Structure 1
Amino acid sequence: MRNYFSLFAKNQSLIYKVFLFFFATFLVIYFLPKGGQFKYNFQKGKPWQYENLYAPFSFTIKKAEDSLKKEKEAIRANAIPYFEYNSKVEQNVIEDFKEELALRYVDSLHKTPKNKIEHIGVRFISQIYKNGVTDEIFNYEGNRLIYLKNGNEIEEQNYSQLFKKEKLNNSVRQLVEKNNTEDSQALLYNILNDVLQSNVKLNSKLTEAAIESEIKALNPNRGIIEKGGRVIAKGEVVEGEKFQILNSLKAEFESQIWSKNNYLWLLVGYTILVSLVFLMLFLFLKKYRPYIYNNNTKVTFIFFNIFLMVFLTTLVLKVHSDYVYIVPICILPLILKAFFDPRVGLFVHVLTILLLGFLVPNSFEYMFLQFIAGIVTILTVSELYKRVNLFISVGQITLIYIIGYFAFFVIQEGNVQALEWQSFQYFILCGLATLFAHPLIYFYEKIFGLVSDVSLLELSDTNSKLLKELSNKAPGTFHHSLNVANLAEASANEIGANSMLVRVGALYHDIGKMLNPTMFTENQANSINSHNELDPQESAKIIIDHVIKGIEIARKNNLPDRVIDFIRTHHGTSLVYYFYKKEKELHGEANIEDFTYPGPIPFSKETAILMMADSVEAASKSLKEPSSTIIDEFVEKIINNQMAQGQFLNADITFKEIETIKKVLKKKLNNIFHLRVEYPE
């Protein structure tokens, strides 16, 4: 059992990557469309680019969405409404009428006898309540058929047969004229207006249920294509009926393939394709970016961003396929470039687009535009910490989208008359969404503990707490670090390396010296050297330990790992030669391991640049009468010696780049040590 635990502990990083591989594959497959892939890509209004297509099997032609929508609207418009009839209201109204008449009738004011008015009113009430009274107003025509539900019985009648209270005035006038009782018109109207109540109300639930039942019974098909029948000929424009027939064939094809019998095989196919994409990503990281591959947090970060793009695209496609270009896919290479490098950003972008090709309609057009936009993102976005650069790059990306989409449309249509200018709004919205990169980078830094150029800009502030402490405790080291930062930044700019990263690394690379500053010559204010009283081996240990102590201070102050890498590697595995030679002179022999820095050697262009700049700047202080020739030979000697020791073997830096760095260092040192004109006192 102990052996299993030991094996697990040794291989936990690999086990985690295997788990991440299968988990990511499962998630992506879950979001893929649950159906077989139709063999042909087509668009409405575009010519059919394949050979003549014949029906591989018999299938029904589905009605177009617009056609079905119109039929449903027609059903709603022509549906017969149900009204609920309340038979108890009539008797209550008659009783109320008699009571009100008894209270309001005055013999001296009316010629018509009370009993006659009562008879007329009761008969009128009975007559109008026979078909029903309503106070609701509907936009129905008078001959519109309605259903009147009285208990369990349902009767048909016209909407005009219902009595509306708004017609009461005219009805009373006609009633008194017919009975020659004009003197009682006002009395009758006032009483009837007060006592009449609605006994017919619309039954919305029953009406809606009837409509839904009719809609469900609607036939979604409008014909059939027999097996072997021609669906579309080559060059025909895909529109109208042809477009609907192709959509019907596609739906039937995908539903037939995604059956219980074929489910497993389709799943196997999807699994292989998605697995290949993630396998390529792992192989790329392992071979070309081992520092990322060996860091599970960074690997998880990359996979999270891929999954996020797949998830957002799936979400948008569920709303409407036209909105697919709103998803800011270019934010992926932009962010990965900010945290890693352009090559990683572009490679991951390409793999993500391959996955999205399974999801989106018109996949070739989509993938082409996204590939081009991703390349433009990598080429244009630089120095992301400068906000204006992001705006400029987003503008360029949006322009590329618009130009690419326009070109595709012209190729497919042959003209611009049918161009939908609204489509360009989606690309503008995509560009605006890409501006969300800045807050997203901040969020990722806090969650995943990564560092971007934006954070590096903050760290380069010499008024920060740690650099202030360095300047107070070890002013000579601080001044040395500033000089190294300037040399390293200029060199990085010349060969296209990350100048901001190397500058920050240079500012912090010697922070370990502030724990024991007087043991380093740049901080010794007088000619007294503390190492004169120490054994060479002791002195070498103090010098070497500034690297270890620097790492400890950096971790205590939460400096990012990318900055700590400069502290670890700025001396590589070089030898503290002065004390090594002194030890040999005193004792005749010396253990070289006691005088060697623990490493590792630089593993990037930036860390290699710092090693060169640091060594050259520190050693330049020993030049007594520097001239241009002496400085040139001096720089060549130091860097060639580092190359001979193999310090740059893992740094991914070329001989040409090293020669360029030499030229920059020579030029900068010549400017620093140039001769000044002596002015008379």
Structure 2
Amino acid sequence: MFRPIFKRGNAVVFFLFVLLVPFLYQPHSFFFERLKVGDVSDRSYYATQDMKYIDQVATEQARKEKEDSIEPIYKKNESVEQEMMDQVKSFFSSVKEFKTKSEELNASINALPNNDANQNLIKELDQQKKNLSSGIKNPFDLKPEEITEITKMKADDIQRLQEMFVRELHRLYRGSITDKDLALKQSELINNANFYYFFSDATVSPLLQHVSAKMKPNFLFDAEQTKLAKQKARGSVEEMYKAVKKGERIVATGEVLDAGQYQKIEQLGLNKQFTKDTWFTYAPFVLLIATLMYACFYVYAKNIFFNFRHFAFMYSSVAIVLGVHNFVKDTSFSFLSFIPAFCLLYLVHIFWKRHVMLLMSLFSGILMCMGDFLSLTVMIFSGVYLFVTFPKRFKIKDMFFSSIFLGITLVVTDIILYYTVESDIHFDASFAYFPSVFIGSLFAVGFIPILEKTLDMVTSIRLYELTDDDHPLLVRLLREADGTYTHSVMVRNLCEIAADAIGNIDKLLLRVGAMFHDVGKLKNPSLFSENVRSEASPHDDMDPIESAQVIRAHVQDGLDLCRKHNVPNSIIRLIESHHGDALLYQFYQKAKQENPDVTEEQFRYPHPAPKTKEQGILMLADSVEAYSRRLMKKPKEEILSCIEKFIYDKMTQGILSNCDLTISEIEKIKDAFLHHYSNLVHERTAYPKRKNS
């Protein structure tokens, strides 16, 4: 059926796009063409007034020199010296204690007669003597033989050695020891002649080596105070001024702009001049691209063209991507300018079909990279890469892996293109694509939940979350209405069978819809036959009108529960239409017998009939599964015949008349269902009854 190509909402978006996008080609501003240092001036600039201005370059240079003249500030740590002294005293005290006790034990051993009766006691005293060495504290990590050498010294010499260490260490720490001169101070201690004058090299040299190794700086660099001092010094330098006279030529046509000239035209406001010619230069080109986008959406993406929110998103997102790209590319963050573009490609691929993403990569690439062949090629290549490699149904980890591989591929591709076209390699520009793709994919993940709500769409990420058996509604369904849960699983299987039979169906959406379609029965699970274990129906003793109200209400109850649990609208629409406006015929007939004045409206579901193929498949799968459970005790041929007749009845009732399913597709679904039940139902062998003895 022909649908109009002109839509008022789309036309407004189209003309706003053509009107505003040319302004986005102005770096740093929507309206002004700006020069930067190193640019070739396209015209001469003259001072429009006498003016004094701050010379930022000279001021900054003077402040930098003043800042660099500040020496690093150090802060004394008193505890370093005290810790060193404590270690020295601890070591020598333990050595003196060892020597005293060792001499006492030697005296005790020598006092005992050397006979058999005293041998055990002598051995015990010898063992105690050996154990004494373990009590020597060793904070300087001396070797056992080095400690033994010190213990051989006389007690007075040990005391003198201790006092000498305390005195020399105090002398060294009385000054300042920083990281820079620590090695010098350690060497000074090791080579101190006083030690070697009074003691032998074998005794004192190892000890000096180990003690010096434990020395630490007692003056530590104070980064905060140094920073404050530098800031104070920097602030002490006054701003430097320069003057410009009215009529003075600042820069001539064709001259390369230097830093001084740049400051002058900035201060005079000459670098913020907007010309209408720029708009008229870009407007025809933007109009052409916008028209091509409009036509492609009408021909290849009608679901976007006839949905205003989707149509507006496409045009506005391209405009935003272009604006951010043109603003960022002239800054020090130019390597990030492609992030919005990669984010857009991922989002379009996620929410729409692959060919739409391919179109968007082409159109956004042309608008962003006009005149830049290499960047345009990168954009188109990215679209083709995602078109070929990125699955429609995916999880978040798939996006991250895809972004990594795409980033690596773009780096290699860009290096090859640069070398081929310009015979040069720009590693900085090429490697910038890797973080851009990865960060773009991160932004895309962040925008997914926002766009799902804004565009009333659902992604495979959300659908995969809903297929998790840990979802609160599915957990409740399994616990409180296990029969309904089993029914939902069977319906899900039938939906997949039908989807495979006709193809081009959103199977993941169908799976989720099948599992959630009857959650409304949680309100009164015992009033639905699949949850009843006895042969008797709970509706046998109920008024048929009341029974109909309970059964009809389960759809609305399900919608309320799903909205409460933030189930996407795509699933809610499946639930809403899975019975359509079907008539509860049995209850209607029963009520008609009791009261001829009852109307069909009291026994019809008050919901819209299925429209999409997914809605039609769910309705057929649900009704066939429920109907087949009543036939399981019948012969196989009768079951298949009844199911076939049941599906034809659904068709003749007109409940699928507004559905996108064609008659041939319904026939394929019917054949798939019959094949399934043909394999499911088989004749059981009748065994003779055993006689009671």
TM-score computed with the length of structure 2 as normaliser: 0.54
Q: Which residue of 2 aligns with 1:474?
A: 481
Match of 2:562 among 554, 560, 575: 554
State the alpha-carbon separation in 2 of the partners of residues 522 and 410 from structure 1. Answer: 70
State the alpha-carbon separation in 2 of the partners of residues 206 and 540 from structure 1. Answer: 87
Q: Which residue of 1 aligns with 2:339?
A: 327
- The secondary structure found in structure 1 opposite 2:539 is helix
Q: Does 1:430 align with 2:436?
A: yes
User: 1:583 touches 1:589 (CA, 8 Å); kept in 2?
Assistant: no
Q: Which residue of 2 aligns with 1:370?
A: 379
Letter in 2 for 1:329: A
Q: Which moved more, 1:535-544 or 1:266-275?
A: 266-275
Q: Does 1:567 align with 2:567?
A: no
Q: Which residue of 1 aligns with 2:363?
A: 354
- The secondary structure found in structure 1 opposite 2:330 is helix
Q: Does 1:293 align with 2:343?
A: no
State the alpha-carbon separation in 1 of the partners of residues 655 and 381 from structure 2. Answer: 38
State the alpha-carbon separation in 2 of the partners of residues 522 and 393 from structure 1. Answer: 45
Letter in 2 for 1:435: S
Q: How far 1:610 sits from its partner (Å)? A: 1.7
Q: Which residue of 2 aligns with 1:226?
A: none
Q: Which residue of 2 aligns with 1:10?
A: none
State the alpha-carbon separation in 2 of the partners of residues 568 and 333 from structure 1. Answer: 33
User: 1:328 touches 1:433 (CA, 8 Å); kept in 2?
Assistant: no
Q: How far 1:564 sits from its partner (Å)? A: 0.9
Q: Does 1:511 align with 2:515?
A: no
Q: How far 1:376 sits from its partner (Å)? A: 3.8
Change (3 A) 1:532 1:61: closer
| Count of residues paired in the alignment | 466
Q: How far 1:360 sits from its partner (Å)? A: 2.1
Question: Which structure 1 residue ranges, 5 or more long, are not aligned?
Answer: 1-13, 35-58, 64-75, 82-202, 224-254
Q: Which residue of 1 aligns with 2:23?
A: 30
1:427-506 aligned within 5 A:
427-436=433-442, 437-442=444-449, 444=451, 451-489=458-496, 491-492=498-499, 495-506=503-514
- The secondary structure found in structure 2 opposite 1:575 is coil
State the alpha-carbon separation in 1 of the partners of residues 312 and 363 from structure 2. Answer: 19
User: 1:504 touches 1:563 (CA, 8 Å); kept in 2?
Assistant: yes
1:136-535 aligned within 5 A:
209=242, 217=250, 219=252, 221=254, 259=275, 269=284, 272-273=287-288, 276=291, 287-288=302-303, 293=307, 296=309, 305-319=317-331, 323=335, 326-327=338-339, 329-338=341-350, 340-342=351-353, 346-347=355-356, 350-351=359-360, 353-355=362-364, 357-362=366-371, 366-382=375-391, 385-394=394-403, 397-398=406-407, 401=410, 405=414, 412=421, 418-420=424-426, 423-436=429-442, 437-442=444-449, 444=451, 451-489=458-496, 491-492=498-499, 495-534=503-542
State the alpha-carbon separation in 1 of the partners of residues 546 and 433 from structure 2. Answer: 66
Q: How far 1:428 sits from its partner (Å)? A: 2.5
Letter in 2 for 1:488: C
Letter in 1 for 2:352: D
Q: Which residue of 1 aligns with 2:203?
A: none
Q: How far 1:305 sits from its partner (Å)? A: 3.8
Change (3 A) 1:576 1:259: same
User: 2:492 touches 2:514 (CA, 8 Å); kept in 1?
Assistant: yes
Q: Which residue of 2 aligns with 1:605?
A: 613
State the alpha-carbon separation in 2 of the partners of residues 348 and 383 from structure 1. Answer: 11
Letter in 2 for 1:559: V
Change (3 A) 1:551 1:61: closer
State the alpha-carbon separation in 1 of the partners of residues 511 and 240 from structure 2. Answer: 75
State the alpha-carbon separation in 2 of the partners of residues 643 and 375 from structure 1. Answer: 43
User: 1:353 touches 1:370 (CA, 8 Å); kept in 2?
Assistant: yes
User: 1:573 touches 1:596 (CA, 8 Å); kept in 2?
Assistant: yes
1:596-623 alpha-carbon deviations (Å, 9 max, x no partner) = 3333233333323322221221111012
State the alpha-carbon separation in 2 of the partners of residues 399 and 665 from structure 1. Answer: 47
Change (3 A) 1:221 1:387: closer
User: 2:588 touches 2:603 (CA, 8 Å); kept in 1?
Assistant: yes
User: 1:536 touches 1:580 (CA, 8 Å); kept in 2?
Assistant: yes
Give the share of equivalent positions with the same residue, in percent.
27
Question: Which structure 2 residue ranges, 5 or more long, are not aligned?
Answer: 1-6, 28-39, 45-56, 63-235, 257-270
User: 1:485 touches 1:506 (CA, 8 Å); kept in 2?
Assistant: yes
User: 2:559 touches 2:575 (CA, 8 Å); kept in 1?
Assistant: yes
Choose between structure 1 and 2 for higher RCO, CA contacts under 8 A separated by at least 6 residues.
2
User: 1:631 touches 1:666 (CA, 8 Å); kept in 2?
Assistant: no
1:370-421 alpha-carbon deviations (Å, 9 max, x no partner) = 34432442443336553443245335644664676577568756xxx64545
State the alpha-carbon separation in 1 of the partners of residues 656 and 377 from structure 2. Answer: 39
Change (3 A) 1:626 1:376: farther
Change (3 A) 1:461 1:679: farther
Q: Does 1:622 align with 2:630?
A: yes
User: 2:579 touches 2:619 (CA, 8 Å); kept in 1?
Assistant: yes
User: 1:384 touches 1:390 (CA, 8 Å); kept in 2?
Assistant: no
Letter in 2 for 1:468: V
State the alpha-carbon separation in 1 of the partners of residues 384 and 659 from structure 2. Answer: 25
State the alpha-carbon separation in 1 of the partners of residues 619 and 669 from structure 2. Answer: 11
After superposition, the CA RMSD in angstroms is: 5.1
Q: How far 1:570 sits from its partner (Å)? A: 0.9
State the alpha-carbon separation in 1 of the partners of residues 637 and 406 from structure 2. Answer: 49
State the alpha-carbon separation in 2 of the partners of residues 378 and 396 from structure 1. Answer: 14
Letter in 2 for 1:31: L
Change (3 A) 1:543 1:61: closer
Change (3 A) 1:323 1:568: same
1:25-71 alpha-carbon deviations (Å, 9 max, x no partner) = 6553431349xxxxxxxxxxxxxxxxxxxxxxxx99899xxxxxxxx
User: 1:603 touches 1:652 (CA, 8 Å); kept in 2?
Assistant: yes
State the alpha-carbon separation in 1 of the partners of residues 344 and 580 from structure 2. Answer: 34
User: 2:345 touches 2:383 (CA, 8 Å); kept in 1?
Assistant: yes
TM-score computed with the length of structure 1 as normaliser: 0.55
User: 2:644 touches 2:670 (CA, 8 Å); kept in 1?
Assistant: yes
User: 2:582 touches 2:604 (CA, 8 Å); kept in 1?
Assistant: yes
State the alpha-carbon separation in 2 of the partners of residues 367 and 403 from structure 1. Answer: 16
